[in-house]
Amino acid sequence: MSLRTALTAAVVLGLGGIGLVAWIGMRLPPKPAQETAAIPVPVAKIRVLAAARALRAGALLKHEDIETLELPAADSPANASPDTAAARAELTGSMIRRALQPKDMLLPTDLVRPGDRGFLAAVLRPGMRATTIGVDAVSGTAGLIWPGDRVDAILTQVADDPSLPVSRRASAETLLGDVRVIAIDQQLMQGATGAATERGTAHTVTLEVTEGQAERLALAARLGHLSLVVRAAGQMADATEDRPATTWSGDISPALNGRRNSGRMIRVYQGTTDPKEVRFQ
């Protein structure tokens, strides 16, 4: 083989090898590009007021019925109440128009707020009346009664008639049972500040009653002293409460039953002084 032939063969083989390498390179899959870590885009969130538990229609919103709900700002309605102290105070005491479930947002369309026109009429159930009685620190349960609570009204009487047995000169009876409180003084709100101690002592309590119950309360206020007793939440009224039993002073203190009047008694008047009783055995 001549030198020229050998060189030609070498060149051909070299070119063939280069072509083979290029062909193999074209057949290999491309090298994946280096992935860059995705940077999460922060989602703007907002804190709004929502129902803390299931609430029935017609109930009055209490401070403890409200909780904070955090959600994306894009999902929040324009009329949602922001989680602020002022918003909580404004909503507390509102009447709930429709039943709410836990986490439901408190929207103005679902509430009738104190001060809104027709609020008191909206709070009253059909056929019911609103009547107000005077209370003091004791008869008003030391300011611990709030709108929405259910109470019993107790009438206490003390007779001045000395001819009655001592055991029958004082009495108490449950005049009304299971009536709803709808206002304290002139405020229809339930603890807007969240602290009962800031409200002071109540002077009047407005109750939701029937027409007949309103008449009984009006008359009872002239006969004696009215006191309110708070009922347990969810407690049902007894069927016998329309016929309240009377508790006499002798039922409380058996010692009074032994002090019976005996013999005849006359009253002696001396001038303008109070009469004196003289009893003959």
pLDDT given at position 239: 43
Q: Cβ(37)–Cβ(12) under 8 Å?
A: no
pLDDT given at position 195: 41
Instruction: Check the CA dihedral 183-187-188-190 and report its sign.
Output: negative
pLDDT given at position 146: 80
Domains of the chain with CATH codes: 45-119 (3.90.1210.10), 125-258 (no CATH)
In three-state secondary structure terms, 69 is strand
pLDDT given at position 204: 85
Q: Where are the alpha helices (DSSP H) in the chain?
A: 3-27, 85-91, 119-123, 211-223, 249-252
**Residues near 5 by beta carbon (within 8 Å), at least 6 away in sequence:** none
Could you count the other beta carbons within 10 Å of the beta carbon of residue 122?
12
What is this structure's pTM? Answer: 0.54
Alpha-carbon separation of residue 17 from 22, 66, 129, 168 (angstroms): 9, 81, 106, 128
Residue closest to 149 by CA, chosen among 181, 195, 184, 190? 181
pLDDT given at position 68: 92
Question: Which residues face 66 on adjacent strands?
Answer: 51
Please return the burial class of 257, using the count of CB atoms within 10 Å of its CB with bins 0-12, 13-18 and 19+. Answer: middle
pLDDT given at position 190: 44
pLDDT given at position 59: 81
**Residues near 112 by beta carbon (within 8 Å), at least 6 away in sequence:** 94, 95, 97, 118, 119, 122, 123
Question: Which residues face 225 on adjacent strands?
Answer: 156
pLDDT given at position 101: 93
pLDDT given at position 274: 67
Please give the chain's pLDDT, 281 residues, in tens.
Answer: 566 776 676 666 666 666 666 666 666 666 666 666 667 777 788 899 999 999 988 788 888 999 999 988 888 888 888 989 988 888 888 888 888 999 999 998 888 877 677 777 777 888 898 898 888 766 555 567 887 788 999 999 998 888 888 888 888 999 999 998 888 876 554 443 344 434 556 688 889 999 999 999 999 999 999 999 888 876 665 544 455 588 888 888 887 776 555 555 566 666 666 666 655 54
Residue showing tokens 């324009």: 78
Cα angle 137, 143, 145 (rounded to 5 degrees) comes to 125
